[in-house]
Each structure stands twice: as C-alpha cells, then as structure tokens.
Amino acid sequence: MTRPSRLFPVAIAALACAIALRAPWNGTASARFAADDDHAIAVCATLSITDELMESDRFRPAREELTRLKQESIQPLADEMADIQSRGQAAAAAGEDLSGLQQEYQNLQQRLQQANQQAQLEVSDLMREQVKECYDLVRTSASAVAEDLGYDYVVSSSRTDDEIGENPAGEFLARPMLVYPEDADITEEVRDDLKLE
C-alpha cells in the first residue's frame, strides 16, 4: 500500500489530467499483447511517482539546504530577541523603565516575522519549481514507456488501493480510473525508467 502523498495540494492540478500520446505501434511482444487485449489506454500513478522524485536524493537535498541557509540567516534576529528579553527581565527586577526595550523588542519582532515569511516564500518557490520539473520527468518517461508498449493514451490516476490521506475529496478526484486491467498499469515501468528504488 502506498503512503499518502504529501505534495497533493501543489501537484493535483497538474497531475489530474491525461497524457495524450500519438505513438505508432512498434510491433514488440509487449505492444502486441496490449493491442490484442484492447488495452490502448494505460494507467500511471503519476502523483505518487512525482512525490517519490521530490523525496529522492535528486531533489530533497536542495530544499533542505535552502531551508538550512534561511534558518541560519534568521537566527541572529532570534538571538537578539532573546537578549532583549533577558535585558528586560533584569530591568524589570531593578525597577527600571522598560518602554525603550519594549519598542526595540516590537521592532525586532516585526523584522523576524518578515524574515520568516520571506524564507517560507523562497522555499515554496523552490518546491513549485521542483514539482514542475518532476512532473515533466514523469510525463516524458510515461510517454516513452507507453510508446514502447504500444499504448495510445496514458491516464494519470492514483491506484485504487493507495492509502487515503488528509484530503479525501481531492484524492478521490486523483483516481479517475476505478477499474482497469492490472497489466494496463505502467507505474512500475515508469518508476524503473526514472531509476526509483
């Protein structure tokens, strides 16, 4: 059973469509089998494959590195806020005026919030770029596999036995194929082509 996709909100719009192929039958044994059994339409779990690519060593390290760099750039602001808090506690214990420190703290808090938002935006932008790149890889691979096997169309559909995640309605929409012959599923061939373990 496949794990639920973590990338569904980002990828569903792109991955719910069918990949139209106009590949001629090349006469291979697999292609003849597909044609004889009238399996002109293949099925591929493109969403789960895209998710696997995103979590692979080809794409995950770049996101992790960017996240690390952004955290390092924000840390000095967090340290400064901690210092102001410590100074404020000492000043309060001594009965000193805290108005200056309070203003300084509020200004710093606003800067930290803006820095966090900017960091999250940059990480999200990178993720969107990676999702598009992964989807393009899956689409190209599915096209090549389908051409080799003699299929005319590939429908992007999650497998019916995939685990339902936190967005059931959306994941149901990602499963337009409820019933299909097992040998019409080219998901594993595409995974092999993309060298996913």
Instruction: Summarize the chain as % helix, strand, coil (round to 5).
Output: 65, 5, 30
Most confident of 34-38, 43-47, 55-59, 166-170: 55-59
Burial class (CB in 10 A: 0-12, 13-18, 19+), 119: middle
How many angstroms separate the Cα of 66 from the Cα of each of 51, 70, 101, 120?
19, 6, 33, 10
Cβ 44 vs Cβ 157: under 8 Å: yes
Nearest to 151 by CA among 47, 18, 46: 18
Does residue 182 surpass a pLDDT of 60?
yes
The runs of H, that is alpha helices, within 55-93 are: 60-93
Q: How many angstroms separate the CA atoms of 182 and 143, rounded?
A: 19
Report whether pLDDT(161) > 70: no
Size of the chain in residues: 197
> Residue 189, by phi and psi: left (phi above 0), alpha (psi -120 to 50) or beta?
alpha
Q: What is the mean pLDDT of residues 88-92?
A: 87
43 has which bridge partners? 155, 185
pLDDT in tens, 65-74: 999 999 999 9
pTM of model > 0.85: no
